[in-house]
């Protein structure tokens, strides 16, 4: 049974099929048009119920009455009185008022959206800072890289909280992910394997959220590299295959993944698989590029000398001393062809250590000592676990019976121990070598 409305206001509200939320929205719109600063004038739900139930004994304040009269085209006293009949027609629709209220709403909402964005200049600067750090990575101490990358990730996250613009949020996700990927790399270089693994997974998640596959592939390659150096070559090969399945990758990205895959197969003793992956890493590509490995480059890239160094290690894993020596020499030649400021001390040191090991395989102790002169030049803060693994391999080779009584072998061994002891990753205190399995 339908109850009879006790106020005209109730009749008019029912004719419009308004709920409280509809009435309150219309009231705020009208207040914004009628009153100066009236956008702050609101009506609670309890107040709305009293007005429409006929329980109001005195009229609301003058401003409220003006707003209600504007909404319904009826004097306030009549609105709060009994309806003359149940068939009271609704006031004529005022198109101009509706347009004005809609325009005001649109203006307010557009202003709120503008206030919820950040300057493109801020994003441009953050992008430039990430690019600079990636490109300067090899010339900076690992601790400095870690500090700066952490600041950049935190800055990107803070700016992401300040904007509601989808394109800006996506760009900031990518930048935070790139900074996180650099953190993963430097964490590994400092000897924190578990930290590097967590940070790599975080970088991959950033890439997934931002729908940016080059970052996912880079993080996947880093995870594979960490698995390799943790004595899990089968897991490394699996992670590489998953990273290779991402779309939108350029030639540099695929070169890097193929080189890591070759190392994993070499560690497994799979000569055929290692050869296929190595050939894939060295083959001419189609000139494809992506926005991370190519456009940003630096630590996200994979230079030809770095490729040659990696393939020298693959050859050593397979017992191919001649192939290792050829690849290591090529790596050093390519590095020396670059300006001094553009050379990577890690790559030069790694290639030189592999060259020393290859020469020891053919009993060339003096040649090994000459190669190691490049290793001693690597600064303490850039002596990564990868380099220390290579120097540890040289140290083991020097203990062979062929060199037991050679003074040069003893001196080289002692110097390698000092080189390792003073490295940043050793001083971090992880208590473990970079890859125990490869040192056996």
Higher pLDDT, 137 or 84: 137
Same domain, 165 and 212: yes
Same domain, 327 and 395: yes
pLDDT at 29: 84
Q: How confident is the model at residue 208 (pLDDT cuts 50, 70, 90)?
A: very high
Rounded Cα gap, residues 26 and 188, in angstroms: 60
pLDDT one-digit tens code per residue, 307-328: 999 999 999 999 999 999 999 9
pLDDT at 135: 95
pLDDT one-digit tens code per residue, 366-378: 999 999 999 999 9
**pLDDT over 70 (residue 96):** no
Share of the chain above pLDDT 70, in %: 87
Higher pLDDT, 388 or 40: 388
pLDDT, the chain, mean: 87
Contacts of 399 (CB under 8 A, 6+ apart): 413
Measured CA distances, 169 to 121, 139, 161, 202, 386 (Å): 14, 31, 8, 17, 36
Averaged pLDDT for residues 198-208: 97
Share of the chain above pLDDT 90, in %: 60
**pLDDT over 70 (residue 289):** yes
**pLDDT over 50 (residue 88):** no
pLDDT at 3: 52
Rounded Cα gap, residues 92 and 324, in angstroms: 91
DSSP, residue by residue, 250-267: -HHHHHHHHHHHHHHHHH
- Domain holding 20, by residue range, is 8-115
Rounded Cα gap, residues 154 and 334, in angstroms: 37
Same domain, 199 and 293: yes
**Could you tell me if 174 and 210 are in contact, meaning their C-beta atoms sit under 8 angstroms apart?**
yes
Looking at residue 80, the DSSP 8-state letter turns out to be T
Last residue of a domain, one of 302, 322, 343: 302
Same domain, 143 and 46: no
pLDDT at 32: 81
Same domain, 310 and 412: yes
Same domain, 269 and 137: yes
Same domain, 248 and 181: yes
**pLDDT over 60 (residue 361):** yes
Same domain, 410 and 378: yes
Sign of the torsion angle spanned by Cα atoms 222, 224, 227, 228:
negative
Same domain, 37 and 139: no
**Could you tell me if 247 and 267 are in contact, meaning their C-beta atoms sit under 8 angstroms apart?**
no
């Amino acid at each position: 049974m339908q109850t009879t409305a006790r106020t005209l206001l109730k009749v008019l509200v029912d004719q419009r099929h308004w709920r409280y939320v509809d009435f309150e929205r219309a009231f705020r719109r009208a207040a914004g048009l009628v009153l100066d600063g009236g956008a702050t004038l609101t009506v609670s739900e309890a107040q709305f119920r009293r007005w429409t139930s006929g329980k109001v004994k005195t009229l609301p304040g003058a401003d409220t009455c003006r707003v209600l009269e504007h909404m319904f085209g009826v004097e306030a006293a009549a609105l709060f009185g009994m309806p003359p009949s149940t068939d009271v027609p609704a006031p004529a629709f005022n198109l101009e008022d509706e347009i004005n209220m809609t325009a005001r709403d649109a203006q307010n909402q557009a202003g709120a959206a503008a206030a919820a964005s950040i300057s493109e200049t801020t994003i441009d600067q953050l992008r430039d800072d990430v690019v600079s750090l990636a490109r300067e990575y090899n010339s900076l101490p690992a601790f400095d890289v870690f500090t700066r990358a952490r600041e950049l990730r935190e800055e990107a996250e803070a700016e992401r909280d300040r904007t509601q613009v989808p394109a800006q949020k996506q760009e900031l996700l990518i930048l935070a992910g790139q900074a996180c990927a650099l953190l993963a790399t430097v964490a590994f270089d400092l000897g924190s394997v578990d930290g590097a693994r967590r940070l790599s997974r975080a970088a991959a998640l950033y890439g997934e959220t931002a729908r940016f596959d080059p970052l996912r592939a880079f993080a996947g390659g880093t995870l594979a590299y960490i698995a390799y150096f943790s004595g899990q070559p089968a897991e490394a090969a699996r992670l590489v295959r998953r990273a290779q399945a991402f779309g939108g990758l350029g030639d540099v990205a695929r070169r890097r993944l193929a080189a890591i895959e070759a190392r994993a197969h070499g560690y497994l003793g799979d000569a055929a698989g290692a050869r296929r992956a190595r050939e894939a890493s060295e083959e001419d590509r189609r000139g494809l590029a992506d926005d991370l490995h190519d456009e940003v480059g630096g630590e996200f890239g994979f230079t030809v000398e770095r490729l040659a160094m990696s393939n020298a290690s693959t050859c050593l894993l397979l017992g191919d001393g001649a192939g290792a020596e050829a690849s290591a020499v090529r790596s050093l030649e390519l590095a020396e062809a670059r300006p001094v400021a553009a050379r990577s001390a890690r790559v030069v040191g790694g290639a030189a250590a592999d060259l020393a090991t290859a020469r020891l395989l053919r009993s060339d102790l003096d040649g090994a000592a000459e190669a190691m002169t490049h290793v001693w030049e690597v600064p303490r803060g850039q002596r990564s676990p990868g380099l220390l693994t290579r120097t540890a391999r040289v140290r083991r080779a020097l203990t062979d019976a062929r060199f037991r009584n050679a003074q040069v072998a003893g001196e080289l061994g002692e110097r390698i121990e000092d080189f390792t002891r003073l490295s940043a990753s050793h001083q971090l205190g992880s208590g473990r070598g970079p890859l125990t399995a490869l040192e056996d």
